[in-house]
Amino acid sequence: MQTINFILANLPIIGQRTVEHISIVGVAIAIAILTGVPIGILITQSKAAADRVLYVASIIMTIPSIALFGLLIPILSLIGQGIGYLPAVIALVLYSQLPIIRNTYTAIANVDPALREAARGMGMTSLQRLLHVEIPIALPVIISGIRNAVVLGIAIGAIATYIGAGGLGTFISRGISQTDIRQLLTGAFAVSLLAIVADYSLLALQRLLTSPGLRN
């Protein structure tokens, strides 16, 4: 009840924190898609390259988020951006690479070789093959990788408050430091809700973009 009163009394600030949170995750995911999808496609050309890239992306995944933020502080301090928005976005871009690259790579590499052969035999160029055959067929799996990255990003984004990036994590960190259960619950609830809404929206988008011929 107390928590509900707190939420109702603080709706404007919750809204503002939510916008901050979305802006960190949104920008990071956009960059991660623009880098991860092309990398995922490129590495289908070479098994050795694929193994190495996926290995590096997996290692990045294992670095605890708080440690990664810490590592970025001295590096970004060189350009005066050691804390705040930029390191938060960079960390999320790095974490998002694995699910996006891995899913893109797996989906493209698993396109039936007969389709590739048919496409080649009919006179499609490599780019046409990619655009008309491989990407449309791989799309559901690629988007499901993006969904993973978004949920992961929203969760890790909550920790970015410790490097002064704001967002919904602020309620959680203050709830802990001030032993204020209301703020803690508000933050936890808002982060979960945001993750669920984002995941379902992307699921809807995934269904929309999947050709009816590929649905089960």
Partner 1 sequence: MIRLDRVTKAFGSVVAVDSVDMEVPAGAVCVLLGPSGCGKTTTMKMINRLIAPSSGKIYIDGRDTSGIDDVQLRRSIGYVIQQIGLFPNKTVEDNIRVVPDLLGWDRKRSRARAAELLRLVNLDPAIFLHRYPKELSGGQQQRVGVARALAADPPVLLMDEPFGAIDPINREVIQDEFMKLQAELKKTVVFVSHDIDEAVKMASHIAIFREGRLIQYDKPDNILAHPLNAFVAEFVGSDRTLKRLRLIKVGDVMLSEPPRVRAEDSLDTAAALMEEHGHISIVMVGPRGRARGVVRLEAARGKKGLVAEHVDKLPGLVNVQDDLRTAVSTMFTHDVTWLACVDDDGFYKGYITQRGITHVLGAAYRDR
Which tokens sit at 7? 């939420």
Residue 131 touches partner 1, criterion: CB under 8 A:
no
Residue selected from 48, 78, 122, 208 as contacting partner 1 according to rule CB under 8 A = 122
Residue 51 touches partner 1, criterion: CB under 8 A:
no
Which tokens sit at 142? 């690629």
Residue whose CB is less far from partner 1, 64 or 121: 121
Residue 12 touches partner 1, criterion: CB under 8 A:
no
Residue whose CB is less far from partner 1, 78 or 127: 127
Separation of alpha carbons 133 and 121, rounded Å = 13
Separation of alpha carbons 10 and 14, rounded Å = 6
Question: Considering only 14-22, 31-39, 112-120, 176-184, which stretch makes contact with partner 1 by CB under 8 A?
Answer: 112-120
Minimum CB–partner distance for residue 132 and partner 1 (Å): 8
- CA angle centred on 114, ends 112 and 116, rounded to 5°: 80
- CA angle centred on 23, ends 167 and 174, rounded to 5°: 0
Cβ neighbours around 110 below 10 Å, total: 12
Residue selected from 46, 128, 178, 201 as contacting partner 1 according to rule CB under 8 A = 128
Residue whose CB is less far from partner 1, 144 or 173: 144
Q: 137-196: which residues touch partner 1 (CB under 8 A)?
A: 137
Residue 112 touches partner 1, criterion: CB under 8 A:
yes
E strands, the chain, in order:
none
Q: Exposure of 122 by Cβ count < 10 A (0-12 exposed, 13-18 middle, 19+ buried)? A: exposed
Binding residues vs partner 1 (CB under 8 A): 112, 114-115, 117-125, 128, 132-133, 136-137, 211-214
